[in-house]
Structure 1
Amino acid sequence: MTTRTTTRAAALAATGLLLTACGGGSAQDGKPSFEGRGPITYVAGKDTTGTVQPMLDRWNKAHPKEKVTFIQLPTDADAQRQQMIQNAETKSDAYTVLSLDVVWTSEFAAHQWIDRLPEKRYPLGKMLKPVVETSRYRGGLYAVPSSSDGGMLYYRTDLLKKAGVAGPPTTWAQMTAACAKVKKLPEAKDMTCYAGQFQKYEGLTVNFAEAVNSAGGTVTDAAGKPDVDTPEARKGLDFLSRSFKDGTIPKKAITYQEEDGRQAFQSGRLVFLRNWPYVYSLAQKSGIKGKFAVAPLPGLNGPGSSSLGGHNMAVSSSAKNKATALDFIEFMTSEKNTRTLLEDASLAPPYASLYDDRALIGQYPYLPVLKESIVRAVPRPRVVPYGDVTAAIQQEAYAVLNGDKSSAQALRDLQKALGKAVAQ
């Protein structure tokens, strides 16, 4: 997906906010008018946890004239983004409230596919600062955090203990060494060491960025300027490439998305897994309950850095019934409901207080690790042409993991591709 030209963006600026009277209200002084009440839609990726519809049922029971219909998109983040953009470009009112990956906010705001929101309406001061920053574009609030996300290292406590490994690794070398000890156990002879998400989709961008950042490199600087052709970045990408070659990462992991890795870990095929917090509650219901824990992601010389994940809720600029949409976002992003999502689905809440709640920590001992992951996390490139940027990253990283390119050549090519993308 290529980004729109400046001319087209200007045309949108002139026309995109002229909403119909039966829709979200007319624009006044360039600002959206959040008017209109009635049925709306909530558009998000497929709910693999089963927690969203019960929450919508509570809303619908309390608001019989303003019911929300849940439109579930594919689990693949790239496919979600594509369908949301198609809806925006046709100015369809089929989508009302969008659940955006945190890195899409700038792109959607810049193209005026989503509306700038009334900031004072939401308790942003109670949320973790890095999480709130993902919902802003050029000083304005264009979405409200509904969940955050930080990558964590899941590991088999029972096997590490039996192999004489004192605790979880903090470096890649320690992880490899721990695996070698575990694989000497009879019950671990068919296991492999580690996996993340390496299929050619957004998960590969996440895992690539984490490897680069965890080796001291960067993908883009704070201003969005590409800076990936460096020795540090090569060390990160080389770790992934070498791990595929020497069997630390199983060959089949080149096809892994989040669910593939989760199932491999739960079925006893992996010692270590990089994944999001949602895995915790599901693994607790599996055969490895009580046999695993989580730790910060390892890095080259010490604890690594996660890519900052999560979702923000935004209002489609072409939607109807925007007054209802604002109320619904307030409902879904409340501390009460984000706590429910933490308890029922292990989704990371945006509210700082929930990570320090002693009762919650007793129930969910991973919370301190998760908070550390989020606070230390590095955002993926916050650039308007994000689609072009992530596509370039996926292409070059995948070529290296498949053995088609060296890390050095891929990073040189990626530097050029990113420079071209952000210059548009």
Structure 2
Amino acid sequence: MPRSRRSPRRAARPAALALVLVLAACGGGGGGTGPTVLEWYNFPDDSGALQQAADTCGQASGGRYEIRYNKLPRTADGQRQQLVRRLAAHDAGVDIMGLDVTWAPEFAEAGWIREWTGALKEQARADTLAAALTTATWKDRLYAVPYNSNTQLLWYRDDLVAGPPRTWGEMLGQAEALARAGKPHHVEVQGAQYEGLTVWFNTLVTSAGGTILTPDASAPSLGAPAVTAAGIIRDLARSPAADPSLANQMEDQNRLAMESGTAAFELNYPFVYPSMKANRPALFPHLRWAPYPAVTADRPASVTIGGIDLAVGAYGRHPELAHEATLCLRNRDNQLVNALKGGLPPSLRSLYTAAELTASYPFAAEVLTALDSASVRPRTPAYQNVSIAISHALSPPSAIDPESTVSSLSGQIEDALASKGLIP
């Protein structure tokens, strides 16, 4: 064979070898050239706590793995949509994922996440709050590990009111008195047509002694407690206490309104505390906290639990390392950083009495009390459709007619559980 025909083939071999080496070094697939790269998909965190946890755990692994933190969209709906698309396509690049506390039943039923068993399950359960574990469990099997928990408190300004209201009725009365006096008086709460409105409704229903679904999650329950809950939402929306933007407000808009000085009360998560401290130092000394308002004075509120659960993807190539890394990501030190930097309450009970937390988290006892009596959102693989039906029926809040709205909602929930009809 002529030399000129052999030379290109010989020249290609070093180039091909170099390409293989580069791909092996970058791939992180456990080929022996470096640590295995575990892909972690979670909510976008601006505090740096999640990236710090990923880096710390990678360093602690002794070079066996590193964790790449991939930021999901900001909204819960967008986060779920991206994960569902990847998992439905059997994406092997999803090793660890952060699930909203309502997603475990759906993802487990679809076979998208791995069950935690044996010693791993015991490590995951140790010191973890009972209500948080409930969110990660489906059909008595543990499918995720609570990364952080969350609950809402009542935040109020002590320069406007002498003491916090105990009930929704008292709060509306105080707000109306402030309005008559020409003072800041709005009650900030999540009234937009999204998951936050469902959470508000669920908290009010359970605080009134009811549930949205029957115990076996096969049918709507609702009844008188739901009518009471819908009435409270409507009453706020039609009162001077309502922010003019109530029907479009989410958690962050509530935070900003409180920081702007136009509100007297806010129902929100603890992230508002470090935010007020950083953004409005002059107003910060007047920000106080109290238990979530009750529906009636004789029954404490049962606040809907929030948070993120970490699950191991069913199609990832490194499940053993993924389980190990997940336990590291939610260990004591990383949860403490997440609480202090990001304002997200831990899922480990012992942290609530730790001096490191309570020094910067003076409301830790109130958060723990709320979590110990927390309610959970309806436990069903069809939760997404149920939630959409609820937020649609209650929007806008000012248009609610308690009896007819709840009656209509009952039928919509029946259809959602049976996967019938169109999603509103």
TM-score normalised over the length of structure 2? 0.84
Bigger CA drift: 223-232 or 85-94?
Answer: 223-232
Q: Deviations over 1:118-168 (max 9, x none)?
A: 3422241311111112211122211011111111111112221xxxx3x11
Amino acid at match of 1:172: W
Q: Secondary structure at the match of 2:211?
A: coil
Q: How does 1:144-293 map to 2 (within 5 A)?
A: 144-160=145-161, 165=162, 167-183=163-179, 188=183, 191-287=184-280, 288-293=283-288
Unaligned runs of 5+ in 2: 1-27, 420-424
Letter in 2 for 1:153: L
Is residue 352–residue 364 contact of structure 2 (8 Å, CA) maintained in 1?
Answer: yes
- State the 1:48 CA deviation: 3.6
Distance, in Å, in 2 between the alignment partners of 1:279 and 1:193 is 16
Q: 2:415 aligns with which of 388, 401, 420?
A: 420
- 1:409 offset after TM fit, Å? 1.9
Counterpart residue number, 1:93: 92
Does the Cα contact within 8 Å between 1:203 and 1:257 map onto a contact in 2? yes
Distance 2:95 2:384 in 1: 22
For 1:102-121, what aligned pairs fall within 5 Å after superposition?
102-121=101-120
- Distance across 1 between alignment mates of 2:231 and 2:373: 23
* Letter paired with 1:297: Y
- How many correspondences in the alignment? 382
57-66 or 326-335, larger mean C-alpha shift:
57-66
Larger Rg: 2
2:382 maps to: 385
Q: Please tell me the root mean square deviation across aligned C-alpha atoms, in Å.
A: 2.2
1:336 aligns with 2:337: no
Question: Could you tell me which amino acid in structure 2 is paired with residue 141 of structure 1?
Answer: L
C-alpha deviation, 1:286, in angstroms: 2.5
Deviations 1:325-369 (A, max 9, x none): 112101111122112212222211111112233563343211111
When residues 53 and 362 of structure 1 are mapped into structure 2, their CA distance, relative to the original with a 3 A threshold, is closer
CA distance in 2, matches of 1:62, 1:171: 48
- Structure 1: which amino acid aligns with 2:104? T
Q: Write out aligned runs for 1:55-94 (5 A).
A: 55-63=53-61, 64=63, 66-94=65-93
Structure 1 equivalent of residue 305 of structure 2: 308
TM-superposed CA distance for 1:309, in Å, is: 0.8
CA distance in structure 1 between the aligned counterparts of 2:401 and 2:46, rounded to whole angstroms: 36
Shift of 1:194: 0.6
Identify the residue that residue 49 of structure 2 maps to in structure 1: 51
Partner of 1:126: 127
TM-score, normalization by structure 1: 0.84
8 A contact 1:39–1:321 mirrored in 2: no
Match of 2:351, as an amino acid?
L
Among the aligned pairs, what percent are the same residue? 26
Distance 2:29 2:52 in 1: 27
